[in-house]
Chains A and B, each alone.
Chain A
């Protein structure tokens, strides 16, 4: 639904009409333009100033008449008019658990983060198509993601709506005048390629280094991370294109059934560069203690850490022997920071620190002590 308060700008309305082949002439009355459809069947009066007392109702009439001409709903036309400079991506969880239009908060946060990563990977792909991006730090790509806007959620199943800009200021307009459009198309295209390959059992086509079909490992991982937590839910992706630029996308809607995600996970793992994982030192707080008593009665086992590494907080699991588990317990109670060495390995959504060693409670200096 588009709120009654949402009133399109007259410049956007004129761009929209021009892009659809309508022709304009000026009225004898000041600040009014008359636009006629190419078949001359419809005509609208567009105020060229917001100073008109009936600006909002006149624009609604414009939307109603254009909608009738295009045989669409007024709401759909209004939405296009107020978001003219953007495409709209919709990421929906389709299943019993989200039928009421809601999703668990933590699942929503994870989905948002995955969508953000997928958009960034798509934009990197437009900048330079390659199999993997170690850092995803192209300026244009970061600017594109920065300019994306989270829209209103929509009625039905849980649907995230993201308005993606057509244009990115830092992109070279001669090479990619609509960098944002290309990134959004890459999002949909990569999703379709991945889903099609898994559905057809043709995963090798994507992971073969010599393949002409290229999807980045980063995008594949992000798509896997969009997997609904609800085991009965599917993922639906769709895009609505701004009428300002004709889209080359061959599909604007895609359903990724739940059962495809296992295959997508395999593809994502195989696309990932097979570089050796070196031990690293992780600084973290101890978030959860999930250990159990061993034969000697000492607690040991899984601990959840929240790392404080670059990129923001990240949860990772680590399995600790009794001595280290005891230290972790002390740190947890005293809310102290620990450091531990190990190799960071990812299994789907889960990040694990394997072969942990040298866990110590860090004696950090509090700002108040300085």
Chain B
């Protein structure tokens, strides 16, 4: 540490006698210690602020806790979300079954990110509908509610997409692994972007924006020469893996920042006020 330069000139006015007096006074000066009772009271007062030693928590315990919370949330997620997502995949299968010329890879890619985007409305429902303050006053915090919904909707989408891929690969005799990577890449990437946007604006706006952009992009793609579509669908597998990693990272960053902001603070979120 940098030492401060002492300016001895300021002591110029002090005489030798005064200095001696000061020394003798300092020598005889005693610091009065508080009595035992005062010390005990201070310790007891501060005890409540000492953070409790966190129990060693394994991933499986955390997962179990989140799963329990998610089970509660499942019954409160609106039926239209389950039905709409399911119908979307059924329509995809019907289209695939009756139109043999449709590219199964393209179909999986187009459909895969849409149900999660619909699910954003469910995930951010409490914030968008003004229920957040009530939920925050409950034992299960707003952050836990949101994370539980995210888990359920994410899981439901992965299951639906996987079943869809299994059925398609059995109908069209396509490579299951490639098909999985082709839907997984846009699914994770668009989920990441949607989560980022939903943290900033109303989820219904996010859904409208993302779905419009996605459909617009697909529409444009379909109007381009087929070789371009072929090129996208037959890119090197590592590119799909790269996009997936990017999407997962984006989602992970969003979730982590959300947890930091809303859950980690003494185990619960605090209300943010914009005055």
Q: Do A and B bind each other?
A: no
